[in-house]
Amino acid sequence: MLQFIWLFVNSITNLNAEKCGSLKSRTVTLFIDLNGFDKWNSEVKELSSIANVNISNLLEQRATATEKIQDLDIVDYLIKFDYIKFNAVKDETLSPIYKEVEKRRANILIAK
């Protein structure tokens, strides 16, 4: 997964042409939080003027009923994997998504 540039937008309001100018001429795949596909699909049309935007419905297709109630996102799924074994990379090469995975994992361990 290190061949991708991972970008967290945190909110649909942060995903607009003004803030995402650096995506110009790139192919962008959005992994939308569960239950947000329809909303984001209608809102991201503005980005199509600067980038080739695809919206993945992978989470919507694969999620269980319980997961849909929890409004999980892609990171919630990735924390289930040991990313170092998965990619065999050193810590200094981690992409932002893996750093977010580790942050959430640490919070889970602290909560226990």
* Domain ranges within the chain, ordered by starting residue: 12-111
According to the model, what pLDDT value does residue 47 have?
83
Mean pLDDT (the chain) is: 76
pLDDT digits (tens, 9 = 90+) for 58-93: 888 888 899 889 888 888 887 777 656 555 544 444
Q: What is the pTM of this model?
A: 0.62
Residue 2: pLDDT over 70: no
* Residues in the chain, overall count: 112
Q: How many CA atoms lie within 13 A of 69 on its CB side?
A: 3
Q: How far is residue 53's CA from residue 98's CA, in Å, rounded to a whole number? A: 23
Tokens read off for 91: 């810590």
pLDDT confidence bin for 111, thresholds 50/70/90: low
CA-based angle 58:20:17, to the nearest 5? 100
According to the model, what pLDDT value does residue 84 have?
60
